[in-house]
C-alpha cells in the first residue's frame, strides 16, 4: 500500500506544529526529516532537537534522512529524540554495515539512501538488512529541485532487485515528487513518496497531500 511522507524541509518552521497537524489531517503516513551537515551535502538543516519537537507534535512515525558524513556518530542521539526509522547514505562513509547494525540495535528501522549517480549494486550486500531504500531522485541537499527523469527507471530496476533477493524493503522516492510524476512512480514500484514543496508550498498542506494521493492512485 502506498504511503506518503511529507518532508518538513519545505514547511513553515515558525508554525511547525500546525504544519504537522495539517499534513496529518490530509493523510500523511510518516513525517520525513532531512538532516544535513554542510559536509556530505552543501547545506545545513536540522538535528535531533527538531526531531524531538516533532515527536511532541505527532504520533506518526518519524523517518529521519541523514545526509551526514559518518552517520554512526549520531544514531543514538536521533533514537533518543524519537526517530522511528533512520536512513543513512550508501556514500556517507566506509561503515555502512556498522551503521545499519547500530540502527537495529537501537530498536529502529534502517534504511539506505542512495544518490542519483550511485549504481544500485551499492545496495547488494545489505538488501536483506534494511527496511527501506531511499532512492534520491535529485542530488541531495536542497528542496524544490526538479525530478531527475532517469529515476523512474531506477525505481523499476530496484523493484526487480528487491523481488529477486526476497526483500520486502520499502522503495521511498525523495526529490521533485509531485502530482505530475506520482502515478508513474507508484507504477514503477515506489511504496513511499516523500514530498516537500509539493505538500508544504503553494497551498494548504491538507489539501495538497490529498491531491498527491489522488494523483498517485489515479488510473
Where in the sequence numbering do the catalytic residues fall? 34, 174
Closest contact distance (angstroms) between CB of 113 and Zn ion is 7
Kindly tell me which residue out of 3, 22, 65, 161 binds ligand DX5, with binding defined by CB under 6 A.
65
Stretch that binds ligand DX5, among 23-31, 88-96, 123-131, 133-141 (CB under 6 A): 133-141
211: helix, strand or coil: helix
Which residues, 116 to 145, sit near Zn ion by CB under 5 A?
A: none
Give dist(CA 66, CA 111) in Å, integer. 10
Residue whose beta carbon is closest to Zn ion: 65
Looking at the Cβ atoms of 101 and 116, the one nearer to ligand DX5 is 116
Looking at the Cβ atoms of 37 and 174, the one nearer to Zn ion is 174
Say which entry of ligand DX5, Zn ion, none residue 45 contacts (CB below 5 to 8 A, set by partner kind).
none
Say which entry of Zn ion, ligand DX5, none residue 10 contacts (CB below 5 to 8 A, set by partner kind).
ligand DX5
What lies within 8 Å, CB to CB, of 138 at 6+ separation is 116, 145, 146, 147, 148, 174, 175, 176
Kindly tell me which residue out of 75, 174, 178, 181 binds Zn ion, with binding defined by CB under 5 A.
174
Site string for ligand DX5, 186-205 (x = CB under 6 A): --------xxxxx-------
State the DSSP code for 94: S
Q: Among 73, 77, 25, which residue's Cα sits nearest to residue 51?
A: 77
**Which run of H or E residues covers position 113?**
strand 109-114
Which string of DSSP letters, residue by residue, matches 172-192? EEESS-STTTHHHHHHHT-SE
Kindly tell me which residue out of 24, 29, 34, 37 binds Zn ion, with binding defined by CB under 5 A.
34
**C-alpha pair distances (Å), 200 with each of 17, 54, 109, 176:** 13, 16, 26, 13
The count of residues interacting with ligand DX5 (CB under 6 A) is: 21
- Please list the residues that pair with 37 across neighbouring strands: 44
Looking at the Cβ atoms of 107 and 146, the one nearer to ligand DX5 is 146
**Which run of H or E residues covers position 109?**
strand 109-114
What residue ranges bind ligand DX5 (CB under 6 A)?
7, 9-10, 32, 34, 65, 138, 140-141, 143-145, 174-177, 194-198
**Interface positions with Zn ion (CB under 5 A):** 34, 65, 174
Amino acid at each position: 500500500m502506498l504511503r506518503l511522507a511529507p518532508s518538513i524541509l519545505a514547511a513553515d518552521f515558525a508554525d511547525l506544529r500546525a504544519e504537522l497537524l495539517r499534513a496529518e489531517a490530509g493523510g500523511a503516513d510518516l513525517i520525513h526529516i532531512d538532516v544535513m551537515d554542510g559536509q556530505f551535502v552543501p547545506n545545513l538543516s536540522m538535528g535531533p532537537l527538531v526531531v524531538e519537537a516533532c515527536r511532541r507534535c505527532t504520533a506518526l512515525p518519524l523517518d529521519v534522512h541523514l545526509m551526514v558524513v559518518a552517520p554512526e556518530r549520531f544514531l543514538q542521539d536521533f533514537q533518543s529524540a524519537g526517530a522511528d526509522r533512520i536512513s543513512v547514505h550508501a556514500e556517507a562513509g566506509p561503515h555502512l554495515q556498522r551503521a545499519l547494525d547500530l540502527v537495529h540495535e537501537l530498536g529502529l528501522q534502517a534504511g539506505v539512501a542512495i544518490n542519483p549517480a550511485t549504481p544500485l549494486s551499492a545496495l547488494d550486500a545489505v538488501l536483506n538488512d534494511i527496511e527501506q531504500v531511499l532512492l534520491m531522485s535529485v542530488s541531495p541537499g536542497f528542496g524544490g529541485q526538479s525530478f531527475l527523469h532517469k529515476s523512474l527507471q531506477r525505481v523499476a530496476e530496484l523493484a526487480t532487485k528487491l523481488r529477486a533477493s526476497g526483500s520486502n524493503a520499502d522503495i521511498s522516492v525523495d526529490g521533485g515528487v509531485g502530482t505530475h510524476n506520482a502515478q508513474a512512480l507508484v507504477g514503477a514500484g515506489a511504496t513511499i513518496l516523500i514530498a516537500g514543496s509539493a505538500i508544504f508550498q503553494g497551498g494548504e498542506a491538507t489539501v495538497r497531500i490529498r491531491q498527491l494521493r489522488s494523483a498517485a492512485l489515479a488510473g
